């Protein structure tokens, strides 16, 4: 087992680029700039990952293709929204065959991920007689305190190591234990209210597809098909912020991406911001600095890291 990543990050884009084999589309939701740490160890059949983020994030993307991924939450990780479920640090997360990642993580989020090659998992299922392991539809498995502590301690031991043959054997043992838990454990039926989930999903789909999404609460509640109060509660439940703030921070993330892609000789920061609906540029700069802990001009000047 080999260490391929062990870094601290103060830049979300750098973290996304460094996350080997993961296809990530994260957006910053909490003010103060991105602060995170990640480590990855890889063998032929098992990929072990560790991530800790000090800011809340909207996490979208996919896990490594050709693998099934399990998530073990850190002991201090508070409850958060994950694929329609409100989960806690006693839950084992089982990613679906589609590898889709959808989550709204809170501040000080910590997770150990174990991605097991599908062919290897099929072998484990056959040897251990874990019928239906790969297609039972379970995405959240409730674990007893002793089991979750054991899984977390083994994952932490591997992550703290420098790899090698001993950790390879430990990672294979962890994969086996996770397969047993996923197949024989009790599925957690706790999920977000379907009405609120549908309402949030409608608004998020609108925001993702609109050229310049509105932050007007009345319009957003019409799109969601619920009252303003219900929509505000639903957004705070999932993302920790009301819908109008979510829209504004979504647009600020979009501005940042465009700045990092822009040719300074062809477009200005003001043009990018205006095109995304920011009419008051002074307030835009203030909000941008609060979210990313730097001015837009600093982001433009830091573009060199993309070519490093």
- Helix (H/G/I), strand (E/B), else coil: 173: helix
Residue range 179-201, pLDDT digits in tens:
999 988 777 656 666 888 999 99
**How many other β-carbons are positioned within 10 Å of the β-carbon of residue 122?**
15
- Tens of pLDDT, residue by residue over 225-242, are 999 999 999 999 999 999
| Number of separate domains in the chain | 2
Q: Which domain holds residue 96?
A: 2-187
299 and 222 within one domain: yes
Count CB atoms within 10 A of the CB of residue 223.
19
Q: Are residues 31 and 160 in the same domain?
A: yes
Which position has the token pair 């990018």? 272
- State the CATH number of the domain containing residue 218: 1.10.10.60
Verify that 74 and 29 share a domain, yes or no.
yes
Terminal C-alpha separation, the chain:
27
Q: Which of 139-148, 191-200, 255-264 has the lowest mean pLDDT?
A: 191-200
Shared domain for 146 and 240, answered yes or no, is no
Residues 127, 21 share a domain = yes
Report pLDDT digits (tens) over 7-57: 999 999 999 999 989 999 999 999 999 999 999 999 999 999 999 999 999
Q: Do 167 and 147 share a structural domain? A: yes
Question: Which of 159, 187, 215 is the endpoint of a domain?
Answer: 187
* 276 in the same domain as 239: yes
Average predicted confidence (pLDDT) for the chain = 91
pLDDT at position 189? 58
pTM above 0.85, yes or no: yes
């Amino acid at each position: 087992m080999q260490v391929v990543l062990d870094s601290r990050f103060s830049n979300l884009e750098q973290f996304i680029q460094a996350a080997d084999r993961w296809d990530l589309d994260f957006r910053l939701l909490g003010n103060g700039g991105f602060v995170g740490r990640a480590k990855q160890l890889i063998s032929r059949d098992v990929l072990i990952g560790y991530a800790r983020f000090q800011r809340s994030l909207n996490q979208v993307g996919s896990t490594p293709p050709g693998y099934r991924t399990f998530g073990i939450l850190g002991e201090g990780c508070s409850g958060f929204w994950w694929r329609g479920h409100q989960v806690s640090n006693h839950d084992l997360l089982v990613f679906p065959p589609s590898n889709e990642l959808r989550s709204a993580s809170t501040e000080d989020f910590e997770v150990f991920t174990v991605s097991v090659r599908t062919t290897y998992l099929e072998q484990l299922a056959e040897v251990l007689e874990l019928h239906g392991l790969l297609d039972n539809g379970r995405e959240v498995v409730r674990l007893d305190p002793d089991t979750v502590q054991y899984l977390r301690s083994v994952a932490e031991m591997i992550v703290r190591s420098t790899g090698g043959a001993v950790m390879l054997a430990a990672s294979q043992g962890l994969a086996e234990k996770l397969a047993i838990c996923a197949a024989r454990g009790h599925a957690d039926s706790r999920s977000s209210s379907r009405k609120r989930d549908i309402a949030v999903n409608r608004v998020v789909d609108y925001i993702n597809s609109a050229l310049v999404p509105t932050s007007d609460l009345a319009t957003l509640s019409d799109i969601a098909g619920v009252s303003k109060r219900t929509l505000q509660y639903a957004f705070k439940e999932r993302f920790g912020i009301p819908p109008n703030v979510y829209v504004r921070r979504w647009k600020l993330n979009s501005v940042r991406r465009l700045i990092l892609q822009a040719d300074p000789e062809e477009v200005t920061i003001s043009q990018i911001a205006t095109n995304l609906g920011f009419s008051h540029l002074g307030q835009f700069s203030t909000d941008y600095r609060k979210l990313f802990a730097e001015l837009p001009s600093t982001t433009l000047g830091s573009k060199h890291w993309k070519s490093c």
